[in-house]
């Protein structure tokens, strides 16, 4: 059991093709790939979930919701890049979480690492505070620190996709390393 490889599901909370959070997520996946883990991504754009409506699952969940639920179920760790819209969690990300947790909760017992990029000076601080609250409600464990805020996102990434500010790269590495360690402890011992 002890050497079982952990699986990470990566998720960006934006559907926009050139999204800064998609970029940030690609870099975070690169960092994660240096550890002994497998990684897949749930692309909200490709998934094309409908807007949440309980009536839509009267005869069973829409196919895309089933797929998202399965991807979360099969992961040990969630790696989430969240934008901030209107001082809060983006509608598309919240919509995905609401669908994925409807009726059954595949998030429960997982570990998550969150971060986010915005063009302003706050780097999704408010969105991440709310996302922590949402994930706690779903019984997802997060490290208290580091909290990673990628500010001035339009200048935050080099052409090769790595952060212009090396401190961001380092924070993401510490976050991902610590989160994987926590997930391992949970899997081995509890």
Q: What are 180's two structure tokens? A: 């994987």
Among 20, 68, 94, 116, binds a second copy (CB under 8 A): 94
Q: Beta partners for 8?
A: 39, 77
Among 26, 95, 119, 152, binds a second copy (CB under 8 A): 95
Least spacing, CB of residue 24 vs a second copy, in Å: 16
When asked if residue 91 is in the footprint of a second copy (CB under 8 A), the reply is yes
- How many residues touch a second copy (CB under 8 A)? 56
Least spacing, CB of residue 6 vs a second copy, in Å: 15
Q: Annotate each residue in 128-167 with x if it binds a second copy (CB under 8 A) or - if it does not, as one string.
A: -xx-xxxxxxxxxxxxxx-x---x----------------
When asked if residue 96 is in the footprint of a second copy (CB under 8 A), the reply is yes
Q: Can you spell out the DSSP letters for 55-113? A: GGGTTS--HHHHHHHHHHHT-SEEEEE---BTTB--HHHHHHHHHHTSSS-TTTT-EEE
Q: Which of 80, 74, 75, 181 is nearest to 130 (CA)?
A: 80
CB 28 within 8 A of CB 172: yes
Bond from prior residue into 146 cis (ω within 30 degrees of 0): yes
Binding residues for a second copy (CB under 8 A): 15-17, 44-45, 48-55, 85-99, 101, 121-122, 125-126, 129-130, 132-145, 147, 151, 181, 185-186, 189-190
């Amino acid at each position: 059991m002890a050497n079982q490889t952990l699986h990470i599901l990566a998720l960006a909370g934006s559907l926009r093709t050139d999204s800064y959070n998609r970029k940030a997520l690609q870099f975070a996946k690169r960092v994660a790939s240096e550890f002994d883990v497998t990684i897949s991504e749930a692309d909200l754009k490709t998934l094309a979930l409908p807007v949440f409506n309980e009536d839509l699952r009267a005869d069973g969940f829409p196919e895309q919701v089933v797929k998202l639920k399965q991807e979360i179920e099969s992961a040990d760790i969630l790696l989430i890049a969240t934008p901030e819209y209107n001082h809060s969690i983006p509608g598309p990300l919240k919509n995905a979480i609401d669908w994925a947790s409807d009726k059954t909760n595949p998030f429960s017992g997982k570990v998550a690492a969150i971060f986010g990029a915005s063009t302003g000076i706050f780097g999704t601080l408010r969105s991440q505070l709310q996302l922590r609250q949402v994930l706690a409600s779903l019984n997802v464990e997060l490290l208290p620190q580091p909290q990673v805020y990628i500010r001035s996102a339009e200048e935050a990434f080099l052409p090769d996709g790595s952060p212009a500010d090396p401190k961001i790269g380092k924070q993401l590495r510490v976050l991902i390393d610590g989160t994987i360690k926590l997930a391992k402890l949970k899997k081995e011992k509890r």
